[in-house]
């Protein structure tokens, strides 16, 4: 038999979610299984409860310990097949100034002629960058973009050389910002920022080489296109609660299968590090290559020492209409 959507289980799942912030232990006792095989997994590392007695005892204790909070349910999907059913839920916990994205999953079975939870799991998302130190493909859309995008026109053959304009972006003071809003909310903010970077880069004929924590490395064949993309990114974040610094440099690079190497990469990163929040900075090479651009003004240069590079360098702030 094929599983089918279950409005009844969906309604029960929503009742359980509503019972959490009300500290409604009676509803929990009625809707969760009385079987000792019940398992409930919470968000904290130690929250793994076996059986209804342990779960309800801790639920009641926590009800008196939590500050006031609300649960905004964003999505519930539920299905059933024979004697079993399941549900997946998305919500946001709001407590004081903090808002945390949550995911919930539940397994149901028929007990005494009614659906009851036999397993429940709460979790909050953690960025893959934090877990593994790298960004991973997280959605089907990302996978399709990765598979279908023809990067060969930009990155070229492995080991080949060529001239490109590189853009490095970086969110300024991201650590205290993440601490102030919470990991889940900050991860959502960064995801939105990355989507804007992808959009702007693609619209201007560039390639996202990689994301680096709260920053990115972008590659363009045209210096002017790189500057246009950087300005679009700054315009997009102008009304956000965070600032981005952007550095641009043009030069020879060495291409690998999925990365770019060489002195140009290092200098572009150092130019970005010398920028302040809200700035777009170009190297003297990029300034010469890009030439005049309508609505764009190249400001007076700053003389800086770039870490790891010899001599002093001129870098030029860009302003735009």
pLDDT digits (tens, 9 = 90+) for 210-236: 888 788 999 999 999 999 999 999 999
Considering the domain delimited by 129-320, tell me its CATH architecture: 2-Layer Sandwich (3.30)
Residue-wise pLDDT for 77-109, tens only, equals 999 999 999 999 999 999 887 788 899 999 999
Predicted pLDDT of residue 139: 58
Predicted pLDDT of residue 198: 94
What ranges do the domains of the chain cover?
4-123, 129-320
Q: How confident is the model at residue 255 (pLDDT cuts 50, 70, 90)?
A: confident
Across 303-309, average pLDDT:
81
Across 65-75, average pLDDT:
91
| Winning range, highest mean pLDDT, from 47-61, 266-280, 295-309 | 47-61
Structure tokens at 287: 């300034």
Is the model's pLDDT at 321 over the cut of 50?
yes
Across 284-310, average pLDDT:
89
Domains 4-123 and 129-320 in one fold: no
Across 145-162, average pLDDT:
48
Across 202-209, average pLDDT:
92
Predicted pLDDT of residue 309: 76
4-123 to CATH, choices 3.40.50.300, 3.10.450.50, 3.50.50.60, 1.10.510.10 = 3.10.450.50
The torsion of the CA quartet 157, 158, 160, 164, rounded to 10 degrees, works out to 80
Predicted pLDDT of residue 140: 46
Predicted pLDDT of residue 55: 96
Residue 78's nearest CA partner among 45, 50, 102, 107 is 107
Predicted pLDDT of residue 312: 84
Q: How confident is the model at residue 146 (pLDDT cuts 50, 70, 90)?
A: very low
| Winning range, highest mean pLDDT, from 31-35, 260-264, 292-296 | 31-35
**pTM of the model as a whole:** 0.52
Q: Long-range pairs for 304-307 at CB < 8 Å and ≥24 separation?
A: 304/274, 306/267, 306/270, 306/271, 306/273, 306/274, 307/270, 307/273
Q: How confident is the model at residue 162 (pLDDT cuts 50, 70, 90)?
A: confident
Across 281-294, average pLDDT:
93
Is the model's pLDDT at 153 over the cut of 50?
no
Q: How confident is the model at residue 130 (pLDDT cuts 50, 70, 90)?
A: low
């Amino acid at each position: 038999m094929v599983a089918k959507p279950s409005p009844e289980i969906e309604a029960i799942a929503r009742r359980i979610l509503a019972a959490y912030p009300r500290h409604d232990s009676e509803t929990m006792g009625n809707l969760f299984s009385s079987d000792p095989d019940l398992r409930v997994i919470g968000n904290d590392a130690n929250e793994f409860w076996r059986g209804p007695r342990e779960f309800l005892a801790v639920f009641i204790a926590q009800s008196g310990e939590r500050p006031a909070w609300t649960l905004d349910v964003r999505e519930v999907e539920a299905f059933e097949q024979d004697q079993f059913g399941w549900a997946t839920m998305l919500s946001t916990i709001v407590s004081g100034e903090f808002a945390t994205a949550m995911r919930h999953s539940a397994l149901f079975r028929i007990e005494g002629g009614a659906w009851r939870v036999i397993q429940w799991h709460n979790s909050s998302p953690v960025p893959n960058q934090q877990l593994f130190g790298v960004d991973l493909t997280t959605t089907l859309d990302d996978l399709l973009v990765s598979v279908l995008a023809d990067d060969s026109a930009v990155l070229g053959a492995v080991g080949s050389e060529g001239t490109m304009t590189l853009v490095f972006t970086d969110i300024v003071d991201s650590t205290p910002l993440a601490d102030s809003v919470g990991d889940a909310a900050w991860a959502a903010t960064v995801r939105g920022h990355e989507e804007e970077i992808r959009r702007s880069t693609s619209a201007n004929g560039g390639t996202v080489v990689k994301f680096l924590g709260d920053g990115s490395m972008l590659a363009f064949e045209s210096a002017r296109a790189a500057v246009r993309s950087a300005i679009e990114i700054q315009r997009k974040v102008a009304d956000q609660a965070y600032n981005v610094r952007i550095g641009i440099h043009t030069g020879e690079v060495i291409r690998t299968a999925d990365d770019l190497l060489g002195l140009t990469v290092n200098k572009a990163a150092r130019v970005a590090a010398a920028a302040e929040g809200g700035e777009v900075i170009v190297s003297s090479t990029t300034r010469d290559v890009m030439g005049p651009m309508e609505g764009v003004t190249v400001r007076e240069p700053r003389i800086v020492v770039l870490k790891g590079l010899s001599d002093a360098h001129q870098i030029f702030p860009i302003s735009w209409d």
